[in-house]
Amino acid sequence: MAFRSSIILALLVLLYPHSTCSQTISVGSSLTAASNTNPWRSSPNGDFALGFKQLQPNTGLFLLAIWFDKIPDKTTVWYERSSYPVPRGSMLRLDSANGLILQDPQGRLLYNTSTGGPVDQVSHALLNDTGNFVIRLRDSSILWESFRHPTDTILPSQSIEMGDTLVSRRTEANFSVGRFYASISNNGRFIFNTKNVPSNSDYDDEYYGGTTSPPNASEAVIRAKFDSGALISLVRRNGQDQILSPRSIPLSSDNYYRATLDFDGIFTQYCHPKNFGSNPSWQIASSWPQNICRNINGFTGSGACGYNSVCRLVNQRPVCECPQGFSLADPSNPYGNCEPQFVQGCTDGGNEYDLVIIDDTDWPNNDYERKKPCPEEQCRIACQEDCFCDVSIYRDNSCWKKRLPLSNGRVDTSQGLKPFLKIRKRDVTLRNPRPRRDRQTLIFVISVLLGSSSFINCLFITAACVLLFFGYNRIFRGPSPVQDPSASNIRCFTYKELVQATDGFKDELGTGAFGIVYKGSIQNGLVAVKRLDRMFQDSDKEFKTEVNVIGRTHHKNLVSLIGFCEEGPHRLLVYEYMSNGTLADFLFGDLRASWSQRTQIAMGIAQGLTYLHEECSSQIIHCDIKPHNILLDEYYIARISDFGLAKLLTMNQSKTLTNIQGTKGYVAPEWFRNTQISNSEMVRIQF
C-alpha cells in the first residue's frame, strides 16, 4: 500500500510542472485594443506576453504583438504586419474554426490564422516560455504557431527554415515592411538582400552570405538555427553545422536573447540580463555583416542609405548623412533619401554652380562617362560645364562623371578619391519655375515690340496711354459696382456644354459642402466643374454671390473661376483644374512632403488668406480652411478654393454676426459663442 502511495506521489510530482505549463487560452477568449487591456501571458514564468501594444504618441493606434514582458522597454519579438496599425476598439478572438481572428470596431476582418483546415477543430492556444504562440487542434496537432511566421526577429529554440524570411521594419518606430530581407536561398546559402518598397521586388545586391556558394548539394544550408544555448548556427544537409555566434557570449540562463534584422539592415544578436539592476538595456553579442556600407554594391537600389545619401560606418552600424546642398526628403527618416535644395540644370555654362570637395566619398555604379587620362583640374571643369553631371570623381589620373539620383553612397578612405559635388553658388530653394519663364517671355515680347517698326511702336505707346486713361478714371471714380456675371469676362456655359465636357459627369473629383466636383475638358484644357445639387433656401443667392466674388478675385494662391451655368434648375461653376489634388491627399498620402514644400505651401495659404481678408475689394471670411479646401497646381503651389460661398465683409465693416458656416474643428470659436467675429480664420492643418 505504501509502495502504491509512493508511485502515485511520484507521478503527481512528475505531472505538476506539466500541468503548470499547460495553462491554456480557451476558444472564445478575446482581447480588445485599449490601453487598459491585460495581455495573454506565457506560463509559468511570464517572460512573454501577447496582446495590443499602444503606439506612441498616437494613443488611438495599436500593434498586435508578442513582447518580452519583464523588461522595462517591452521589446517586441513578433507582430502582425498586415493589420498594422490596429485602431482602438478592435478585437482579437480565438475562434474554433479559424484560430485567431482580428476585427476592427465595425466588425471588418483585419487578420486571421486560418489555414483552410477542418471547421470547428481548434482546441486551445498557448503562449509558451520560449515566446512561441501555438494554436492546437483537437487531435493535438498544430494549426498555427508564431515561430513559423517570423517578422524581423527570431528567439532561442527558433530557426529560419527554407521558405521563411525575416523582413526589417521601415524605421525603428514604423512596423510596416522595410527594405532588408534575410532567408535561405535556393542554392543553400544564408543571405541578406534588399528589395524595393513597396513593390518588394528583388534587387541583385546581395550584401551578406553566411557561406560561400556550396560546392555540392550535401554542403547546402537547410536552416539557420538559434539554439536554446543562444548560439546561432547554419545547419548543412551533411550535418556539419557552421556556428556564427562567438562562443564567448554570456550564459543563456542569466540572459534574455533575441536576433533581429534591424531597420538599418544589420542582423544583430542581442542579450539582456534577466537580473538587469542598473543596466536595463540590450547589449550586442554579435552582428552581421561587418561593413554594410561597402557590402551593398548593386546596380539597382539605393544602398544601405537612401538615394543621394552617404553611408558612414560607426561602431559597425551605418550612419546616413546628406551631403552639402542636400536635405532629407522625409525629416522623420534619417536613413531615407536626400533631395537637392536647389534647382538642377544649367543655363550659363555652369557658372552658377560651385564644385565642393567631399573627402573620401564615392557613389559607385552611377557612372555615365569616364575620361582617361584626365588631370584633376580638368575633371572638375568637365563636370561644371556638363549640365548632366552632378558629381565627378577623380582618382589615378581618371575622371568618372555621375548624375542624380546617386546610389550606394559611402565613405571610402582606401581609394584615394577626390569627389567634386556640384551645388549652386547661392542656395536657391525649389520654387515655381513659371515666373522665370514668364519674365523671359515678357522680356522677349517687349524687345520685339521696341525693336520693330515705328508703326508698331506707335501702337504700343497708344495702348499704354489708353490703359493709363482708364486707370486714371477708375482711381478717381472709385471701384465699380458688382456686376452681373454675364456682364463680366467669365464665360457663361450651357448645361449641354458642361454635360459634354464632363462626359455625363462621369469622373468625380470630390464632394464639397455645396455639391460634387467633376473633371472636365474644354477647348482651353482641363477644368473642374462643381455641380450644385444640394439645393436649399437662398442657394440661388449664394450661387450668384460666388460667381460675382470669385469672378473679380484674382490671386496666385486662389483657384480661378472660368465660367458658370445658370440654366433652369441647374447651377454649375467651372474652375481651373488643379492637377495635384487636395492638400489632404498630398500630406497624408504615400509620398512624404519635404520640409521646404510644407513651408512653401503654408506661406501660400497665408498669402491667399491675407488677400481675402485685407487686399481684395470685398473682404472675405472663408470659414472652412482645411486641407480638403486647399488645392495644389502642377507646381505644388497652394490654391485656396470654395471661398466664394462664405459670407462677405464689406470694406467699412470690421465685425459682423452671421449664421454658423464651415466644418466643425476648423471654425473659429466665435461662431459657436454667438459673438462678433473679426476677419480672421481658424487654420488647423497638420503639417
- What amino acid positions are annotated as catalytic residues? 624
Instruction: In whole angstroms, give the CA distance from residue 527 to residue 516.
Output: 14
d(CA 176, CA 329): 19
Helix, strand, coil shares of the chain, percent, nearest 5, are 20, 30, 50
Based on its alpha-carbon atoms, the radius of gyration of the chain, rounded to whole angstroms, reads 34
CB 654 within 8 A of CB 678: yes
Closest CA to 341 of 277, 233, 421: 421
Q: Is residue 604 a contact partner of residue 576, using CB atoms and an 8 Å limit?
A: no
- The one-letter amino acid at 99: G
Closest to 408 in 3D by CA, of 292, 289, 290: 292
The DSSP 8-state label assigned to residue 582 in this structure reads B
Q: Determine contact, residues 271/285, Cβ cutoff 8 Å.
A: yes
- Nine-digit cell string for 114: 486560418
Tally of CB atoms within 10 A around 505: 17
Specify the amino acid at residue 142: I
Residue 504 cell numbers, joined: 455625363
Strands 525-531 and 508-511: unpaired
Q: All 3 cell numbers of residue 8?
A: 502515485
Report which residue type is found at 496.
Answer: K
DSSP reduced 3-state for 603: helix
Query: Which of 197, 199, 196, 202 lies closest to 183 in space, CA to CA?
Result: 202
Nearest Cα residue to 134 out of 119, 113, 151: 113
Contact, 369 vs 309, CB < 8 A? no
Residues 65 and 55: their CA atoms lie apart, in Å, by 11
Q: What's 83-115 look like in SS3?
A: CCCEECCCEEEEECCCEEEEECCCCCEEEECCC
